[in-house]
A = this chain, B = another copy of it.
Amino acid sequence: MSLDKEKNILIVGAGLCGSLLAIRLGQLGFNVCLTEKRSDIRTTTVDGGRSINLALSDRGLKALRMVGLEHKIREICIPMYGRMLHFENGETKLSPYSGRQDEYINSVSRNDLNRILIEEADIHPNVEILFDHDCIDVNIDESKAQFTFNGKERIIDTDIIIGTDGAGSIVRKELFDKRNDEKLSIEFLDHGYKELEIPPGESGGYQIEKNALHIWPRGDYMIIALPNMDGSFTVTMFNAYQGANSFEEIDQTGFRKYIEDGFSDLMPFIEDLEKSYHENPVGKLGTVKCYPWQDEGKTLIMGDAAHAIVPFYGQGMNASFEDVTIFNEVLDQGHENWESLFQAFQTRRHPSAVAIADLAVDNFYEMRDHVADEDFIKKRQLEMKLEQEYPAYYSKYSLVTFKEDLPYEEAKAKGRAQDEYLLKLVKEKALSEIDLNKLVETLTQ
């Protein structure tokens, strides 16, 4: 017996994960209907026209390679070779992401990426895309989904429903209302974020270093900036909601003073930053972990719906794309029925989702508290040296970001053990005293 490929598959949510999944299932000949609550991204302006960008790295690129889109997407990518650290005294320092030349991450526009994925999905005659379809209810047992479309109610009757409808997933909610053994954890940090903008220079150029992810680490708060293709930067500030240097405090004492006091090298852009500060909302930073992800081979959740994470490892999109890679691999194994397929997928993928969620929270504290810390900088220097001289050695960051075939849970276990060892070492010894050969032997055994 082999998998019934004639089933109708409804994918709820045409964001990054849903549209990539639709492409892959379309390529494999499945009957797919992809729905999206927003209007067609190809003909509308979204997010009030703001540029939101994301870090695309090897795991995401691997998934795009699978569907044949890597080259097309690389054309809209800006390589970022390292973290450009901006200290309080105005000095900067570039901290490379890897000691190897070909390992870097990319800044990419969420909208441009999503538009290309939608265009590609739409090429397949067996993939139907329905925009302006807002999913308001799902009948898990009967595989029916209810939408509002043009102010009217519409029911779609299908065989299989895959929810890629994000962190607040309605498919997940209905799946768990039906089941009786679900586990769900939703945790928000006591920090939120706000997106600002540095526009292109007068001649259209980049006003700060183009090929880096900029970080202004300040202990309990920080600012980051990623480049856009048009010469602008999307700037994100992370602050507590309340207390010292919080959004509440900034609203009281003034944004301009906040930048002047702690981020003087951003003062040249203060007019634009201040304008966007007052226009844009504060976003929440949450982690969603849950299980199980499937029910009876008829319902499945993927991407943020199954494992939303905080953005501090730049892995949110990459993890969602990797879901599609893994789903494809599990499909390839040849399952007898959809339940066995879905169960194999969740069993294989869930530990990875938990691991990257934990790593992302770890990195929040690392970026916030330690990026400017002396021992931490010494440890990064040691890691760079090791990566340059020993191709077999990968830092935790490199394991997560560049080892595209290594499951996140293994990257986490190995990376944490290495981190602990190296931090202890740099506290005890000067860099010049460390025997690198012996160290690499210890770390890679």
Write the residues of chain A forming the contact surface with B, with a CB cutoff of 8 angstroms. 180-190, 192, 241, 282, 284
**By the criterion CB–CB under 8 Å, are A181 and B189 in contact?**
yes
- Bound: A183/B289 CA distance, A: 12
A186: which B residues are within 8 A, CB to CB?
Answer: 182-185
**By the criterion CB–CB under 8 Å, are A282 and B184 in contact?**
no
Using CB atoms, name the residue of chain B closest to A191.
B181
Interface class of chain A by DSSP = strand
A183: which B residues are within 8 A, CB to CB?
Answer: 185-188
Partner of A181, one of B181, B182, B185, B190: B190
A188: which B residues are within 8 A, CB to CB?
Answer: 180-183
A180: which B residues are within 8 A, CB to CB?
Answer: 188, 192, 241, 282, 284
**By the criterion CB–CB under 8 Å, are B181 and A241 in contact?**
yes
- Bound: A394/B240 CA distance, A: 44
**By the criterion CB–CB under 8 Å, are A184 and B181 in contact?**
no
Lowest 6 A-B CB distances belong to which pairs?
A185-B185, A181-B190, A183-B187, A180-B284, A184-B186, A181-B188
Expressed in whole angstroms, the minimum distance between the Cβ of A234 and any Cβ of chain B is 21
Using CB atoms, name the residue of chain B closest to A240.
B181
Could you say how many copies of this chain the assembly holds? 2
A181: which B residues are within 8 A, CB to CB?
Answer: 188-190, 241
Q: A180-B282, A181-B241, A185-B186 are in contact. List 14 more A-B contacts (CB 8 A).
A: A180-B188, A180-B192, A180-B241, A181-B188, A181-B190, A182-B188, A183-B186, A183-B187, A183-B188, A184-B184, A184-B185, A184-B186, A185-B185, A185-B187
- Bound: A49/B107 CA distance, A: 64
Expressed in whole angstroms, the minimum distance between the Cβ of A133 and any Cβ of chain B is 25
A284: which B residues are within 8 A, CB to CB?
Answer: 180
A190: which B residues are within 8 A, CB to CB?
Answer: 181
**Can you list 16 A-B pairs with a CB-CB distance of less than 8 A?**
A180-B188, A180-B192, A180-B284, A181-B188, A181-B189, A181-B241, A182-B186, A182-B187, A182-B188, A183-B185, A183-B187, A184-B184, A184-B185, A184-B186, A185-B186, A185-B187
- Bound: A366/B284 CA distance, A: 39
A282: which B residues are within 8 A, CB to CB?
Answer: 180
Chain B CB count within 10 A is highest, among A180, A182, A282, for A180
Expressed in whole angstroms, the minimum distance between the Cβ of A113 and any Cβ of chain B is 27
Partner of A187, one of B184, B189, B192, B241: B184
Chain B CB count within 10 A is highest, among A182, A189, A192, A282, for A182
- Bound: A418/B189 CA distance, A: 35
Using CB atoms, name the residue of chain B closest to A192.
B180
- Bound: A184/B186 CA distance, A: 5
Expressed in whole angstroms, the minimum distance between the Cβ of A88 and any Cβ of chain B is 27
Expressed in whole angstroms, the minimum distance between the Cβ of A346 and any Cβ of chain B is 14
- Bound: A187/B182 CA distance, A: 6
A184: which B residues are within 8 A, CB to CB?
Answer: 184-187
A241: which B residues are within 8 A, CB to CB?
Answer: 180-181
- Bound: A226/B192 CA distance, A: 49
Expressed in whole angstroms, the minimum distance between the Cβ of A54 and any Cβ of chain B is 22
Using CB atoms, name the residue of chain B closest to A180.
B284
- Bound: A335/B284 CA distance, A: 31
Expressed in whole angstroms, the minimum distance between the Cβ of A230 and any Cβ of chain B is 31
